[in-house]
Amino acid sequence: MTEPDHPERKRRSLYGRRKGPKLSERQSGLRQTLLRDLAFTPNADPWAQFPNSVKELWLEVGFGAGEHLFALAEQCLAEQRSDVGLIGAEPYEMGVAKLLGKLSEKPLNNVRLFEGDGGEIIAGLPDASLSRFFLLFPDPWPKTRHHKRRFLQMEMLDQLARVLKPGAELRFATDDKSYLPYALERLCAHPKFQWMATGPGDWKTRPAGWPPTRYESKAIKGPPVYLAFRACDN
Ligand SMILES: C[S@@+](CC[C@H](N)C(=O)[O-])C[C@H]1O[C@@H](n2cnc3c(N)ncnc32)[C@H](O)[C@@H]1O
Protein backbone atom coordinates (compact mmCIF):
# COMPACT_ATOMS: atom_id res chain seq x y z
CA MET A 1 0.00 0.00 0.00
CA THR A 2 1.18 3.53 -0.75
CA GLU A 3 1.78 5.55 2.38
CA PRO A 4 0.29 8.96 1.56
CA ASP A 5 2.69 10.89 3.81
CA HIS A 6 5.85 9.06 2.86
CA PRO A 7 8.13 11.68 1.21
CA GLU A 8 9.39 9.27 -1.45
CA ARG A 9 5.86 8.36 -2.41
CA LYS A 10 4.63 11.96 -2.43
CA ARG A 11 2.18 12.34 -5.29
CA ARG A 12 3.56 14.35 -8.19
CA SER A 13 1.39 16.03 -10.75
CA LEU A 14 1.03 14.61 -14.20
CA TYR A 15 1.56 17.36 -16.74
CA GLY A 16 0.54 17.12 -20.37
CA ARG A 17 -2.54 15.90 -22.11
CA ARG A 18 -4.38 12.61 -21.83
CA LYS A 19 -7.08 13.29 -24.43
CA GLY A 20 -6.53 14.14 -28.07
CA PRO A 21 -8.47 13.35 -31.23
CA LYS A 22 -11.42 11.00 -30.88
CA LEU A 23 -10.43 7.36 -31.06
CA SER A 24 -11.81 5.27 -33.89
CA GLU A 25 -14.23 2.47 -33.05
CA ARG A 26 -11.46 -0.06 -33.52
CA GLN A 27 -9.11 1.88 -31.23
CA SER A 28 -11.79 2.19 -28.53
CA GLY A 29 -12.42 -1.54 -28.87
CA LEU A 30 -8.73 -2.32 -28.40
CA ARG A 31 -8.67 -0.24 -25.22
CA GLN A 32 -11.50 -2.36 -23.86
CA THR A 33 -9.92 -5.66 -24.83
CA LEU A 34 -6.19 -5.67 -25.56
CA LEU A 35 -5.29 -2.94 -23.06
CA ARG A 36 -7.04 -4.93 -20.33
CA ASP A 37 -5.04 -8.03 -21.26
CA LEU A 38 -1.76 -6.12 -21.33
CA ALA A 39 -2.42 -3.77 -18.42
CA PHE A 40 0.39 -3.19 -15.97
CA THR A 41 -0.76 -2.50 -12.41
CA PRO A 42 1.53 -0.25 -10.34
CA ASN A 43 2.07 -1.40 -6.74
CA ALA A 44 1.53 -5.06 -7.64
CA ASP A 45 4.28 -7.68 -8.13
CA PRO A 46 5.84 -6.54 -11.45
CA TRP A 47 7.33 -9.94 -12.39
CA ALA A 48 4.02 -11.76 -11.87
CA GLN A 49 2.37 -9.55 -14.51
CA PHE A 50 4.14 -11.29 -17.40
CA PRO A 51 3.17 -14.72 -18.72
CA ASN A 52 6.79 -15.87 -19.07
CA SER A 53 9.24 -16.21 -16.27
CA VAL A 54 10.86 -12.77 -16.37
CA LYS A 55 14.33 -12.08 -14.97
CA GLU A 56 14.80 -8.50 -16.18
CA LEU A 57 12.35 -5.61 -16.10
CA TRP A 58 12.79 -2.68 -18.49
CA LEU A 59 10.65 0.47 -18.22
CA GLU A 60 9.99 3.20 -20.79
CA VAL A 61 8.25 6.33 -19.55
CA GLY A 62 6.43 8.44 -22.16
CA PHE A 63 6.54 5.99 -25.05
CA GLY A 64 4.42 8.25 -27.29
CA ALA A 65 3.08 6.01 -30.07
CA GLY A 66 5.35 3.18 -28.91
CA GLU A 67 7.80 2.81 -31.83
CA HIS A 68 10.78 2.35 -29.52
CA LEU A 69 9.02 0.04 -27.04
CA PHE A 70 7.60 -2.13 -29.81
CA ALA A 71 10.95 -2.41 -31.63
CA LEU A 72 12.77 -3.26 -28.39
CA ALA A 73 10.21 -5.95 -27.56
CA GLU A 74 10.64 -7.45 -31.03
CA GLN A 75 14.42 -7.22 -30.66
CA CYS A 76 14.36 -9.06 -27.30
CA LEU A 77 12.28 -11.89 -28.75
CA ALA A 78 14.48 -12.11 -31.86
CA GLU A 79 17.52 -12.41 -29.58
CA GLN A 80 15.81 -15.21 -27.56
CA ARG A 81 15.51 -12.86 -24.58
CA SER A 82 12.00 -13.82 -23.52
CA ASP A 83 13.19 -13.36 -19.91
CA VAL A 84 12.96 -9.56 -20.41
CA GLY A 85 9.63 -7.96 -19.49
CA LEU A 86 9.06 -4.51 -20.99
CA ILE A 87 6.78 -2.05 -19.22
CA GLY A 88 5.58 1.12 -20.96
CA ALA A 89 3.87 4.14 -19.41
CA GLU A 90 2.04 6.76 -21.46
CA PRO A 91 -0.94 8.88 -20.38
CA TYR A 92 -1.85 10.08 -23.89
CA GLU A 93 -4.80 7.97 -24.99
CA MET A 94 -4.06 8.21 -28.73
CA GLY A 95 -0.42 7.18 -28.20
CA VAL A 96 -1.52 4.07 -26.29
CA ALA A 97 -4.15 3.37 -28.98
CA LYS A 98 -1.49 3.52 -31.71
CA LEU A 99 0.73 1.03 -29.90
CA LEU A 100 -2.27 -1.22 -29.27
CA GLY A 101 -2.95 -1.14 -33.02
CA LYS A 102 0.58 -2.44 -33.70
CA LEU A 103 0.31 -5.07 -30.97
CA SER A 104 -3.00 -6.29 -32.35
CA GLU A 105 -1.32 -6.93 -35.71
CA LYS A 106 1.78 -8.47 -34.18
CA PRO A 107 1.12 -9.74 -30.64
CA LEU A 108 4.15 -9.56 -28.33
CA ASN A 109 3.66 -11.18 -24.95
CA ASN A 110 6.69 -9.50 -23.36
CA VAL A 111 5.04 -6.03 -23.17
CA ARG A 112 2.82 -4.56 -20.46
CA LEU A 113 1.26 -1.09 -20.62
CA PHE A 114 0.10 1.52 -18.17
CA GLU A 115 -2.03 4.38 -19.45
CA GLY A 116 -0.91 6.92 -16.89
CA ASP A 117 1.97 8.57 -15.06
CA GLY A 118 5.26 6.68 -15.23
CA GLY A 119 6.11 8.17 -11.82
CA GLU A 120 3.35 6.03 -10.33
CA ILE A 121 4.99 2.88 -11.63
CA ILE A 122 8.41 3.91 -10.33
CA ALA A 123 7.02 4.75 -6.88
CA GLY A 124 5.44 1.28 -6.65
CA LEU A 125 8.43 -0.79 -7.86
CA PRO A 126 10.49 -2.83 -5.39
CA ASP A 127 14.06 -1.74 -4.66
CA ALA A 128 16.65 -2.84 -7.25
CA SER A 129 14.06 -4.32 -9.59
CA LEU A 130 14.71 -2.52 -12.91
CA SER A 131 17.49 -3.40 -15.35
CA ARG A 132 16.85 -0.63 -17.88
CA PHE A 133 15.03 2.68 -17.87
CA PHE A 134 14.24 4.79 -20.93
CA LEU A 135 13.18 8.45 -21.03
CA LEU A 136 13.28 9.47 -24.69
CA PHE A 137 12.43 12.96 -25.90
CA PRO A 138 10.42 13.85 -22.79
CA ASP A 139 8.20 16.94 -22.95
CA PRO A 140 10.76 19.79 -22.81
CA TRP A 141 8.78 22.43 -20.87
CA PRO A 142 11.21 25.10 -22.17
CA LYS A 143 10.02 28.07 -20.09
CA THR A 144 12.06 28.43 -16.91
CA ARG A 145 8.96 28.68 -14.76
CA HIS A 146 7.83 25.30 -16.15
CA HIS A 147 11.11 23.43 -15.57
CA LYS A 148 9.65 21.91 -12.42
CA ARG A 149 7.21 20.03 -14.67
CA ARG A 150 10.02 18.16 -16.37
CA PHE A 151 9.99 14.45 -15.62
CA LEU A 152 13.67 14.31 -14.76
CA GLN A 153 13.96 15.96 -11.34
CA MET A 154 16.46 15.21 -8.57
CA GLU A 155 13.63 13.58 -6.56
CA MET A 156 12.83 11.36 -9.54
CA LEU A 157 16.50 10.42 -9.83
CA ASP A 158 16.44 9.42 -6.15
CA GLN A 159 13.46 7.20 -6.92
CA LEU A 160 15.22 5.74 -9.95
CA ALA A 161 18.36 5.18 -7.87
CA ARG A 162 16.22 3.09 -5.54
CA VAL A 163 14.56 0.93 -8.20
CA LEU A 164 17.49 0.45 -10.61
CA LYS A 165 19.72 -2.55 -9.98
CA PRO A 166 23.46 -1.95 -9.67
CA GLY A 167 24.79 -2.08 -13.24
CA ALA A 168 21.39 -1.16 -14.72
CA GLU A 169 21.25 1.32 -17.60
CA LEU A 170 19.37 4.62 -17.82
CA ARG A 171 18.91 6.00 -21.33
CA PHE A 172 17.84 9.57 -21.98
CA ALA A 173 17.50 11.45 -25.26
CA THR A 174 16.44 14.97 -26.12
CA ASP A 175 16.57 17.46 -28.96
CA ASP A 176 15.93 20.37 -26.60
CA LYS A 177 18.94 22.59 -25.96
CA SER A 178 17.89 23.55 -22.45
CA TYR A 179 16.77 20.07 -21.30
CA LEU A 180 20.19 18.67 -22.18
CA PRO A 181 22.25 20.68 -19.63
CA TYR A 182 19.38 20.38 -17.15
CA ALA A 183 19.46 16.58 -17.38
CA LEU A 184 23.25 16.30 -17.50
CA GLU A 185 23.69 18.56 -14.49
CA ARG A 186 21.35 16.41 -12.41
CA LEU A 187 22.50 13.02 -13.63
CA CYS A 188 26.19 13.88 -13.23
CA ALA A 189 25.59 15.30 -9.74
CA HIS A 190 23.77 12.17 -8.57
CA PRO A 191 26.10 9.67 -6.87
CA LYS A 192 24.19 6.68 -8.26
CA PHE A 193 24.69 7.45 -11.95
CA GLN A 194 27.82 7.25 -14.05
CA TRP A 195 27.87 8.59 -17.61
CA MET A 196 29.15 5.89 -19.94
CA ALA A 197 30.26 8.21 -22.78
CA THR A 198 33.89 8.07 -23.80
CA GLY A 199 33.72 10.60 -26.66
CA PRO A 200 31.34 12.84 -28.64
CA GLY A 201 30.39 9.99 -30.96
CA ASP A 202 28.70 8.38 -27.97
CA TRP A 203 26.15 11.12 -27.50
CA LYS A 204 25.81 12.50 -31.02
CA THR A 205 24.92 9.19 -32.64
CA ARG A 206 22.14 6.85 -31.59
CA PRO A 207 23.88 3.73 -30.25
CA ALA A 208 23.33 0.38 -31.98
CA GLY A 209 20.38 -1.56 -30.59
CA TRP A 210 18.64 1.69 -29.56
CA PRO A 211 15.55 1.93 -31.82
CA PRO A 212 14.44 5.37 -33.11
CA THR A 213 11.32 7.18 -31.93
CA ARG A 214 8.78 9.34 -33.71
CA TYR A 215 9.88 12.57 -32.02
CA GLU A 216 13.46 11.87 -32.84
CA SER A 217 12.64 11.69 -36.54
CA LYS A 218 11.07 15.15 -36.24
CA ALA A 219 14.07 16.53 -34.24
CA ILE A 220 12.31 19.88 -34.17
CA LYS A 221 14.58 21.80 -31.85
CA GLY A 222 18.00 20.59 -32.90
CA PRO A 223 20.11 17.47 -33.37
CA PRO A 224 19.16 14.73 -30.91
CA VAL A 225 21.52 13.84 -28.08
CA TYR A 226 21.70 10.36 -26.55
CA LEU A 227 22.86 9.85 -22.97
CA ALA A 228 23.49 6.46 -21.39
CA PHE A 229 24.20 6.19 -17.66
CA ARG A 230 25.14 3.19 -15.54
CA ALA A 231 23.62 2.78 -12.08
CA CYS A 232 26.48 2.26 -9.62
CA ASP A 233 26.49 -0.03 -6.63
CA ASN A 234 26.29 2.40 -3.69
C1 LIG B 1 7.53 14.60 -26.62
S2 LIG B 1 6.68 13.12 -26.40
C3 LIG B 1 7.87 11.87 -26.85
C4 LIG B 1 7.24 10.54 -27.11
C5 LIG B 1 8.23 9.42 -27.48
N6 LIG B 1 9.12 9.13 -26.40
C7 LIG B 1 9.01 9.76 -28.73
O8 LIG B 1 10.21 10.03 -28.63
O9 LIG B 1 8.42 9.74 -29.81
C10 LIG B 1 6.67 12.96 -24.65
C11 LIG B 1 5.65 11.95 -24.17
O12 LIG B 1 5.77 11.79 -22.77
C13 LIG B 1 4.47 11.58 -22.24
N14 LIG B 1 4.51 11.88 -20.81
C15 LIG B 1 4.55 13.10 -20.24
N16 LIG B 1 4.58 12.98 -18.89
C17 LIG B 1 4.55 11.65 -18.63
C18 LIG B 1 4.54 10.91 -17.44
N19 LIG B 1 4.57 11.50 -16.24
N20 LIG B 1 4.49 9.56 -17.51
C21 LIG B 1 4.45 8.95 -18.73
N22 LIG B 1 4.47 9.61 -19.89
C23 LIG B 1 4.51 10.95 -19.84
C24 LIG B 1 3.60 12.50 -23.07
O25 LIG B 1 2.23 12.12 -23.03
C26 LIG B 1 4.21 12.35 -24.46
O27 LIG B 1 3.58 11.34 -25.20
Tens of pLDDT, residues 21-38 = 999 999 999 999 999 999
Rg (CA), the chain: 17
Closest of 139, 128, 69 to residue 98, by C-alpha: 69
Q: Where are the beta strands (DSSP E) in the chain?
A: 56-61, 84-89, 111-114, 130-136, 164-174, 193-195, 225-231
**Stronger pLDDT, 219 or 70, i.e. the higher one:** 70
Q: Which residue CA neighbors atom 1 of ligand 1 most closely? A: 139
Q: Which atom of ligand 1 is nearest to the CA of 12?
A: 19
**Band of residue 10 on the pLDDT scale cut at 50, 70, 90:** low
The predicted pLDDT at position 14 comes to 81
Separation of CA 62 and ligand 1 centre (Å): 3
The predicted pLDDT at position 4 comes to 44
The predicted pLDDT at position 221 comes to 74
**Band of residue 75 on the pLDDT scale cut at 50, 70, 90:** very high
CB-side neighbour CA atoms (13 Å) of 55:
4
The predicted pLDDT at position 11 comes to 56
Tens of pLDDT, residues 100-144 = 999 999 999 999 999 999 999 999 999 999 999 999 999 999 999
The distance of Cα 35 from the centroid of its chain, to the nearest Å, equals 18
Active site residue 139: yes
Closest of 123, 150, 121, 139 to residue 64, by C-alpha: 139
Compute the average pLDDT of residues 6-20.
68
Lowest mean pLDDT among 9-18, 105-114, 135-144, 179-188: 9-18
Q: Which of 5, 127, 139, 233 is catalytic?
A: 139
**Band of residue 2 on the pLDDT scale cut at 50, 70, 90:** very low
Separation of CA 139 and ligand 1 centre (Å): 6
**pLDDT higher than threshold 50 for residue 40:** yes
Task: Assign domain 18-231 to its CATH superfamily.
Answer: Vaccinia Virus protein VP39 (3.40.50.150)
The predicted pLDDT at position 81 comes to 95
Q: Would you list the domain boundaries of the chain?
A: 18-231
Compute the average pLDDT of residues 152-165.
97
**pLDDT higher than threshold 50 for residue 5:** no
Q: Is the CB of 118 under 6 A from ligand 1?
A: yes
Q: What are phi and psi of 179, to 5 degrees?
A: -70, -30
Vertex 211: Cα angle to 23 and 66 (nearest 5): 15
Separation of CA 65 and ligand 1 centre (Å): 9
